[in-house]
Every structure is written in structure tokens, then in C-alpha cells.
Structure 1
């Protein structure tokens, strides 16, 4: 079994509640979406990756292991395009697994074995240059439901832009709350990079937090990779 891999590297987790923790990242090539703010454009096409076997990926993970590293993060692109490959790798390593996903492929996500943590992006209409397909949100909800049914730790990340409207966040949060999702769900508001673009608009981040906080636990966490100038 093979999959297209952009890179495998060790670094600090730069997003979400595990920010600052040392992890090994396996970045897959290929994505089913085309978000305008994507910071890994090179990973959108499957052709940009190197075809690697499960054994090769496992060997590289083991080579990169350090005492402070407890988690392997499968990222992309969209890693859930390769559910069987991820399952095979997960079965052969002794580290916890984290899936960074857009959540739009619930059937694929349901096939992945040995998942411990899932970071699920909630996409906003403004994330796309073309018309927003509402099935994106519907599938994200399906993914959340199936992950929670399996008692997998899942949190939602919402990337916000300086142009994001408070009404947009309110609508998304209310829809999440109206679903059958447990209200203990963690919501992470992630302001887009560079942070200098937020000059004059940082007040919005406080408002976004207030809106989400009416229903869920919420944190506002920027990416640290640009700040530390690391991958």
C-alpha cells in the first residue's frame, strides 16, 4: 500500500489546544477542497507528493522519535483521503495519533482505525473563491457525530479572517449547537496569519469568542509557526 507524501518532519504543534507540544507530522498530498487561505498550497495536488509505502513512513516516524514526542499528526492536504494507509501506519507505531481534517469525508474518517485525537476544521463560506457548497458543513457535522460516538477526542477549529463577519460566526456556532453535538465540544478560533493583517480588527476576535462562549468552551489561538519562524 502506498500514498503520496509531501514530507515527514518533527516540530512543535502550531495550532489548537496542543500548541507547543512536540509532534511528528506526516503531510499527505492531495485535497478535496480549495480553500483561499490555505497555507500549504503545495499539498493540494496528489502529484506533488512522493509515493511512499507504509513501511517507509513507519521507519521515518521511528527515526524521528524523541523523548518529548508522544503524538503523530496526520495532516495535508486532506489526510482522510487515505484512511486505510493511516490505519496501517497507526497500527505499527507506539505513539498517539492526531488527524487534522476538514471533516468533509465522514465515510473515510469512519474507516480510520486507532485515532486518538481529531482536529476538525469548520469551513466558512468566505474560505472559498467559488460558491460555498452547504454539503461541506453537513458532512462536517456527520464527522463530528461519528467521532463522538466512538469517544474519540475531537475539537473544532475555525479559521477567521479580518473580513469575517460576526454574523457568520454566530450562524455557524448556532448551527453547531442545534445539532446533537455535546456542548462540551472545544471550539478554537484561529485568526489567520499574518497577524499584522488584523490591525484595527482585533476587536472582532473578542466578539467571536463571546459568541462561541454562549454554547461551547472556546479559546482563541493563533498559529505559532510564523511567530517562531519554524515549519
Structure 2
């Protein structure tokens, strides 16, 4: 795939960043489920979620250093006829927002940003460049932070920004067998009350993997869906790539 080049907005200075892995696979989560993507997994994360399945990527020193052109060359090698978009994931890709911005300005490929949404100012740098955003909303049980309410406030700011910019986006909520329907209802209600127009955002309920954890408990997913559906458009989607033994 040939991509028209654009001059970097930084005047030509080539920035670098650290990436843990780059690979092609099927998107197994959320509303782009089944789409062929090239995944770019950045290192480093500002959160420490207890269900994280890419724990190596939390380490900011893990992986290999790439500049913008080297990343494009690697992505271009992996593009197949069924290619849909790049997935910028992590770790937390918004820790690398300046790099992603420069990359997409020079190589304007269609892109999905998979983020925890806790850095709305960094998100704002990319709203003219990405077409899709999957925002992983955190529950109090997920993240050992001193002020979960502040984290939620930052995520709400990101949701409002995405809606304002008209980006095709959705919230993802990872639930565990221990997650209560009241907790999910509280999150869904808060999002609904903040954004008001519920047609602008969907909530994807994602049961934590492995699915063996849900043996004899899958009825709870129906209860969670029903409760969340009182406030938002809701979908329940497991990690399908793991069911298919794909990366």
C-alpha cells in the first residue's frame, strides 16, 4: 500500500519511541470485531489494572526503539489485502501521543486508538487523525489508584471530546465474575448523565478472560447487560481472538 507522505509538523526532526511488538491479526474486541489490523503495541502505562493481559508492555524500557519511518516500513510489510486499519494499543498509547501524531501526519493510515482515556489532553492531539477509538473505562476494582473518582472524571472528559469531534468511538468495560451489577449501573448512569445524548456512545461489556472463569456464572453477564441497558446502548463481546488462539 502506497501512502502519500507529508512533512512532519515538527520541522523534520525525527522522534523515536519504544514499541513492544508489531503484528497482523484479527481484531478480537469491541465494535471492530473481525477486522484485519496491524497492531502496534507501545510500551509503558500510567495505570496498573489487575486484569492486564499485556503486563510486559507496562515496562517503559521493554521492546525496541522505532522512528516514524522504520515503523511505517514494518507496518507496510504486514499489510494484507484484507487490511482495515492500524490498532495503536499498549500499554497506554497516549503516553506516545506526539509520536503517533507525527506518524499519522506523515503516513495517514486509517487507525484505531485503544486507550484508557485517562489523558484527555493527549487525546486531543489525535482527534483529527484517528478514525476509531476504543476507550477502556476502569472500575474501582480494576485499578489501585488513590482517587478513582478523578480517574473517572478524566475518562469522562475524553468521552466528551470524542463525541464533540464526531469520532467513531465506544466505551469498553471489562467485567469479572466478582463485578456487581450495581457497580456497572453506576458507571453507565454516570456516563449517560454526563453526555446526555446516549445515541453518541455505546458500552461494550467484555467478560474477563479466560472464559473458564465464568463457568456456571454466565447468567451474570445477562444481568449486567440488562442493567447497563437501562442507561446506554450495550453489547457483550468476549475476547474472540483468544477463543481462536490468535494474538
After TM superposition, the score normalised by the length of structure 2 is 0.90
Pair 1:52-2:52 in alignment: no
Bigger-Rg structure (1/2):
2
Residues 227 and 211 of structure 1, relative CA distance in 2, 3 Å threshold: same
- Contact 2:108 2:129 (C-alpha < 8 Å) held by counterparts: no
Residues 128 and 80 of structure 1, relative CA distance in 2, 3 Å threshold: same
Distance 2:197 2:76 in 1: 36
Pair 1:159-2:169 in alignment: no
Unaligned runs of 5+ in 2: 1-14
Q: Report how far residue 14 of structure 1 moved.
A: 1.0
Q: Which residue of 1 aligns with 2:183?
A: 168
- The runs of at least 4 aligned residues of structure 1 exceeding 4 Å deviation read 129-132
Q: Report how far residue 95 of structure 1 moved.
A: 2.8
Q: Report how far residue 181 of structure 1 moved.
A: 4.6
* 1:96-115 mapped onto 2 (5 Å cutoff): 96-112=110-126, 113-115=128-130
Q: Which residue of 1 aligns with 2:241?
A: 225
Pair 1:196-2:212 in alignment: yes
Unaligned runs of 5+ in 1: none
Pair 1:178-2:193 in alignment: yes
Distance 2:193 2:144 in 1: 28
Distance 1:172 1:94 in 2: 34
- Contact 1:145 1:181 (C-alpha < 8 Å) held by counterparts: no
Q: Report how far residue 94 of structure 1 moved.
A: 4.7
Name which of structure 1's ranges 27-36 and 49-58 shifts more when overlaid on structure 2.
49-58
Distance 1:16 1:172 in 2: 18
Aligned residues: 231
Distance 2:228 2:148 in 1: 23
Q: Which residue of 2 aligns with 1:138?
A: 153
Q: Report how far residue 131 of structure 1 moved.
A: 4.9
- Contact 1:189 1:209 (C-alpha < 8 Å) held by counterparts: yes
Q: Which residue of 1 aligns with 2:86?
A: 72
Q: Report how far residue 28 of structure 1 moved.
A: 0.1
Q: CA RMSD in A?
A: 1.3
- Contact 2:46 2:92 (C-alpha < 8 Å) held by counterparts: yes
Distance 1:115 1:158 in 2: 21
